[in-house]
Amino acid sequence: MILVTGSTGNVGREVVRELHARGAQFKCLVRNPDKAAVLEGAGVATVTADMDDPASLEPALAGIETLFLLAAPSSRLMLQELNTVLAAKRAGVRRLVKISVILADRASAATFMRDHGRVEHAIESAGIPATFIRPTGFMQNLAPSFGGAVANGYPIYAPAGDARVSWVDLRDVAAVAATVLTQDGHEQRVYELTGGEAFSYADIAALLSGLLGRKVEYGNVTDAAAEQAFRGVGADPWLAHALVSLYQSYRQGHFAAVNGNIERLTGQPPRTLDAYLRENLQAFAAR
């Protein structure tokens, strides 16, 4: 039996779809009873627990052989995932698959990479055979982040310089996760997942210009201006700083690599950025 955490988030929902389509035996860990009811109504088994509450986790993990570990990005991610790892160890979970981030490293200066690296280290220390799935930036963050601005005639503003990112579609990440969860032989492996090509933000603006039939500009901004802007749209200080440190990693070239792991693991080439933009073009279109 597989237990899926983070099942109502963007990546988790796609993992649930993939597992359901494959007829896998799994259930979802859910904190909110209303969300549990929606999943149950769709024929997905659930168990109620809270990753912030260690006492609730061990009963939820009883009888689980494989754990899919995913917490939403927040200042509590590391604590939530560590709580779950320790509960999994006590419950006798035999295998763990974790969504991490490319070049995760507990000594990294970038918040996301550091926090995921520390959780990976804790999993290794716990002795649970694990697979770490490390994607680059998600295409699905582009429309929510920049769609409104572009639709209203503004540039894409980001502190990215001329950095290139091999954007990956989270549906491809979910397909890899489902493959790893339902097959043997992936233990003690690290899979870095990338798109098929790396693009700068200027490249994204150029692609959108062609698709929309009007000029879309890219405007590079300073880290300080970006952090202020993130906080201005509601990001808490932790998230605003984490996002700026992510862009710093972009500028250092950490997200530009391209590999063939998605096709090797799923048998299908990665979805393209052009296809994602076409699929979500209405988000960028003038209103």
Catalogue all structural domains in the chain, each as residue range(s) with its CATH number.
2-135+168-193 (3.40.50.720), 139-165+196-283 (3.90.25.10)
State mean pLDDT over 142-146. 95
pLDDT at residue 10 is higher than 80: yes
Q: 218-220 and 45-48 as β-strands: parallel, antiparallel, unpaired? A: unpaired
Contact of 276 with 209, CB cutoff 8 Å:
no
Strands 95-99 and 199-200 come out as unpaired
pTM: 0.93
Quick: pLDDT tens for 211-239. 999 999 999 999 999 999 999 989 899 99
Give 3-state DSSP helix, strand, coil % of the chain, rounded to 5.
Answer: 50, 15, 35
Q: Give the span between the Cα atoms of 154 and 1, in whole angstroms.
A: 49
**Residues 136-159, mean pLDDT to the nearest whole number:** 95
CB 158 within 8 A of CB 220: yes
Beta bridge partners of 193: 135
For residue 191, which phi and psi values (nearest 5 degrees)? -115, 110
Query: For the chain, what is the mean pLDDT?
Result: 94
Q: Which residues pair with 168 in a beta bridge?
A: 138
State the pLDDT at residue 36.
Answer: 77
3-state secondary structure 107-124: CCCCHHHHHHHHHHHHHH
CA-to-CA distance for 254 and 239, rounded, in angstroms? 20
Q: Which two tokens stand for residue 78?
A: 């590391």
Which pLDDT tens digit goes with each residue over 63-115?
A: 999 999 999 999 999 999 999 999 999 999 999 999 999 999 999 999 999 99
CA distance 46 to 279: 31
SS3 97: strand
Distance CA 102, CA 105 (A): 9
pLDDT > 80? residue 3: yes
* Residue 71 DSSP symbol: -
* pLDDT value, residue 268: 95
Tell me, what's the pLDDT at 287? Answer: 65
